[in-house]
Chains A and B, each alone.
Chain A
Amino acid sequence: MTGRTRTAAPTRPGTARRRGTPPAAVNALKPLGLLLVLGWCLFPFLWMAMTSLRTGSVALTDPNILQGPFDLDNYRQIIGQGFHFALRNSLIVASVTTVVCVPVASLAGYALARLPLAGKFVILAVTLVATLFPPVALVNPLYQMYLELNQWTGINLLNTYTGMVIPYVALTLPLSIFILATFFSGIPKEIEESAKVDGATPFQAFLRVVAPLAAPGVGAAAILTFVYATNEFLLAFSFAPNDLNVQTVPVFVGTFERVGYENPIGQIMAASVLVSIPLIVFALLLQRRIVAGLTSGAVKG
């Protein structure tokens, strides 16, 4: 059908008919459509921010978010309970995961995109399958492995940053490798060849010529890895459940317990606001890179 339309079009010019609504009405609707999308994305944040500022008994019974009194009490309380430690822990765990994962993945991505390897197709397919790994299958065996390690060597990984970073790196490697292989294979091979003609070794060609050109791909992989590590809940909850020295934000917020009979809604919203602000700034600043990373491989053909 598509083919027929395409070939038929040039032979029948001038028979264009207008259908549906007139263009003026459509044009007026377009901004409304965008407003709908914006509203969809942002309304929970409005509610969250307003709720975090409300205090007193009214805040616990009245859904009207414009009903005061307003103050920063919830924020003071959540900091009093050590939420800033959770923010710090999340930042450390996500940064270390990214710093370990991306260079290692770059090597593999480059090898898969460029170097002569037997069985490359199979390796790429395995990498793609590995991106689907369900974390729940890691919880118990890895926990047991940590216990064994502790028994044999005295190294303790439970309730440590390392204990979380290790599985995060393993789970983010496949997607990073895949993204980077896609980016590396998009760099013209001639650039690299000419470097080698000029006397560079394969490793120098990779380090000096190809790696800088792949910077956008490296950035995209780094961002996706970072976001994965800030988002992960199940493994962090299993390996570092309640020690404030290592507990990450998703665990702090996701398992927030009410103290006594008071509903902690205000404090939870305050914590949510505090973690959302830096992440939203992060998303807005790095928008282009994120989109490039998310869509690499998705829109080929």
Chain B
Amino acid sequence: MTTTTNVRMRQGLGERAMGWVFLTPSFAFMAVIALFPVLYAIGISLYRIRGFRREPVGLDNYLRVLSDSGFYNAVGNTLVFTVTSVALEFAIGMAFALIMHQAFVGRGLTRAVILVPWVIPTAVAAQVWRYMFDRNPGFVNAVLGTDINWLRDPTWTMVAIISADVWKTAPFVALLLLAGLQTIPKDYYEAAKVDGAGAVQRFSHITLPLLRPAIVVALLFRTVDALRMFDFAYVFAGYSNSVATLSVYAQRFLVADPKPGYANALSTVTFVVVMLVGLAFISRMGRHMVGDVARKERR
């Protein structure tokens, strides 16, 4: 058809242009539907809005956030929820991953069933767990032999929410860690065994270091998900302060007690907090994850 040089030149140009054509729909859409609204929210957060009256107040809404005890309550709830649930999910997920990694009979079945909590919508899981903890037909008090009003006392409601979240996502963590475990060569363990390393030593000196990428990814997704959590807190306690997370608290000033300017200041703060924590994780592993795709391309 044409000479080789011609073809190569045309394809080089074609590929570069095609690259931008392929990227444009995704990134244009995300810019309009995700990036622009965030900027718009920042704009709204600079106003005080009452009915149809809006007056610009500068950073007043943000200053009010900083002196709002409800905000600090939400920050506290979010932190307690995040730290406790992620720690438990990690410990239990690791235990499950090790159990599944060791076993042979029934591993396939378990690996399928472990997806079941993950696939159930959070709001549905939240209702089921709320009724499990409910005093009357719920069974948690009967099993524990206690008489706790789980849904009235904020501390116990938090315990109930964390239990529900750990139930739903510990299996997900286990799955990520199991995939990581399966990439560790068996020889390393054999060699360590020959060398006289005990099970604990093998775990801390072989498993943990080699599992690091999987652990960091699991912690990233879980931590960010916990920080922006809405469903469990809302289904268990509505907009009441008892277990309100940052997302619930921001949403409350849109719906239950409408103050759009203030609500947008709160949601912007939530956005910044979630993104900063996420960036802290990604800066530790992003190069590794992203570099993997980029490296393969260069080869």
Which chain A residues have a beta carbon within 8 Å of chain B's beta carbons? 1-2, 5-6, 8-10, 12-13, 15-17, 19-20, 30-31, 33-34, 36-38, 40-42, 44-45, 47-48, 51, 59-63, 65, 104-105, 107-108, 110-117, 120-121, 123-125, 128-130, 132-145, 166-167, 169-171, 173-174, 177, 181-182, 185-186, 189, 196, 199, 201-203, 227, 230-231, 233-234, 238, 249-251, 253-254, 256, 263, 265, 268-269, 271-272, 275-276, 279-280, 282-284, 287, 290-291, 294-295, 297-301
Contact = CB atoms under 8 A, between A and B. Distances in A.
Contact of A136 (B106, B174, B247, B294): B247
Contacts of B116: 41-42, 45, 280, 283-284
Given A202-B14, A283-B112, A300-B289, A137 B199 contact: no
B11 to A, nearest CB: 6
A170 B104 CA distance: 41
Interface stretch (B59-67, B79-87, B153-161, B263-271): B263-271
B240 interface: no
Contacts of A254: 123-124, 126-127, 231, 234-235
Given A44-B128, A132-B274, A141-B264, A253 B121 contact: yes
A170 B230 CA distance: 19
Interface in B106-125: 106-107, 109-125
A292 to B, nearest CB: 9
Given A37-B100, A269-B131, A19 B37 contact: no
Contacts of B20: 111, 117
Contacts of A166: 33
Contacts of A234: 230-231, 247, 251
Contacts of A38: 109-110, 113
A81 to B, nearest CB: 15
Contacts, number: 374
B75 interface: no
B148 to A, nearest CB: 14
Given A141-B38, A269-B128, A300-B288, A231 B122 contact: yes
- B126, B128, B182: residue with the most chain A Cβ atoms closer than 10 Å: B128
Contact of B267 (A61, A136, A230, A233): A136
A8 to B, nearest CB: 6
A170 B19 contact: no
Contact of A139 (B1, B167, B192, B267): B267
Given A41-B114, A44-B129, A112-B293, A12 B271 contact: no
Contact of A284 (B16, B112, B205): B112
- Interface residues on chain B, size class: 35 or more
Nearest to B105: A31
Q: Which 9 A-B pairs have the closest CB atoms?
A: A254-B123, A9-B191, A115-B19, A141-B37, A170-B33, A33-B99, A250-B123, A134-B228, A132-B278
B118 to A, nearest CB: 7
B100 to A, nearest CB: 7
B263 to A, nearest CB: 6
Contacts of A117: 16, 19-20, 23
A272 B235 CA distance: 14
Given A134-B227, A140-B267, A250-B123, 5 more contacts: A2-B192, A125-B290, A137-B267, A170-B34, A233-B234
Contact of B288 (A256, A291, A301): A301
Interface in B187-219: 188, 190-199, 205-206, 209-210, 213-214, 217-218
B137 A263 contact: yes
- B38, B96, B224, B289: residue with the most chain A Cβ atoms closer than 10 Å: B289
B224 to A, nearest CB: 5
26 contacts: A5-B205, A6-B191, A9-B195, A108-B25, A116-B15, A116-B16, A117-B19, A123-B23, A125-B290, A128-B290, A134-B228, A135-B230, A136-B270, A140-B41, A140-B267, A170-B29, A173-B30, A185-B297, A189-B299, A254-B127, A254-B231, A275-B124, A283-B116, A284-B113, A294-B175, A298-B214
A129 B38 CA distance: 14
B27 interface: yes
B228 A135 contact: yes
B70 interface: no
B179 interface: yes
B1 A297 contact: no
Contacts of B213: 298-301
B138 interface: yes
Nearest to A223: B119
A171 B19 contact: no
A226 B218 CA distance: 21
A60 B137 CA distance: 5
